[in-house]
Amino acid sequence: MNRIEITLERIEFPDWIEEYRTFVSRVLDYLNIDNWEISVLLCDGEMIRRLNKSYRNKNEVTDVLSFPQGDGETAPGGEGPVPAGDIVIALDRITEQAAEYGVEFVEELYRMSIHGILHLAGHHHSGTSESEPMLQLQEKILTHLMGEEKS
């Protein structure tokens, strides 16, 4: 069983937090990932800008940051969930992108959550082209899971 910790920083507590936790769990299930421990921090653009500057030397707001932890193989001491890492998502940036791309907020939030999880799982991309295999997988997962929600 996966452990998903969600924390909030510099934002109001959203009423959709449990639905979001369920979605993250469904992404891990789709990827056949079990026994992971991940942390998701939902924050504002200023906080993610500071993290982006500190860890990537980019003084700009971004939508999602992923911080893989360990080798993904074993938990400390060999017991309990595997500490996979942390994902940080700027909700105000997600709101802006949703409007920019003409999609609902929840769709963009889910897309960027999948993106962060894929990075924790070892996937990479070199650009933003739709031909990038990681981005194709991201959209495949999003389409599948959002289709399930509508059923």
Predicted TM-score (pTM) of this structure: 0.91
Residue range of the domain that includes 119: 3-150
pLDDT band at 150 (very low <50, low <70, confident <90, very high): low
pLDDT digits 0-9 by tens, 131-146: 889 999 999 999 999 9
**Are 36 and 24 in contact, with CB atoms under 8 Å apart?**
no
Q: What token pair was written down for 12?
A: 């109001």
pLDDT digits 0-9 by tens, 67-118: 999 655 555 556 778 999 999 999 999 999 999 999 999 999 999 999 999 9
148 vs 125, residue with greater confidence: 125
Per-residue pLDDT at 123 exceeds 70: yes
Domain total for the chain?
1
Query: What is the number of alpha carbons within 13 Å of residue 92 lying toward its C-beta?
Result: 12
Smallest Cα–Cα separation from 91: which of 14, 27, 19? Answer: 14
Q: What is the CATH number of the domain that holds 143?
A: 3.40.390.30
What is the predicted pLDDT for the residue at 27?
97
Classify residue 127 as exposed, middle or buried by CB count within 10 Å of its CB (0-12, 13-18, 19+).
Answer: exposed
The distance between the two most distant Cα atoms of the chain, rounded to a whole number of Å, is 47
pLDDT digits 0-9 by tens, 20-67: 999 999 999 999 999 999 999 999 999 999 999 999 999 999 999 999
pLDDT band at 130 (very low <50, low <70, confident <90, very high): confident
- Which residue has tokens 């939508």? 63
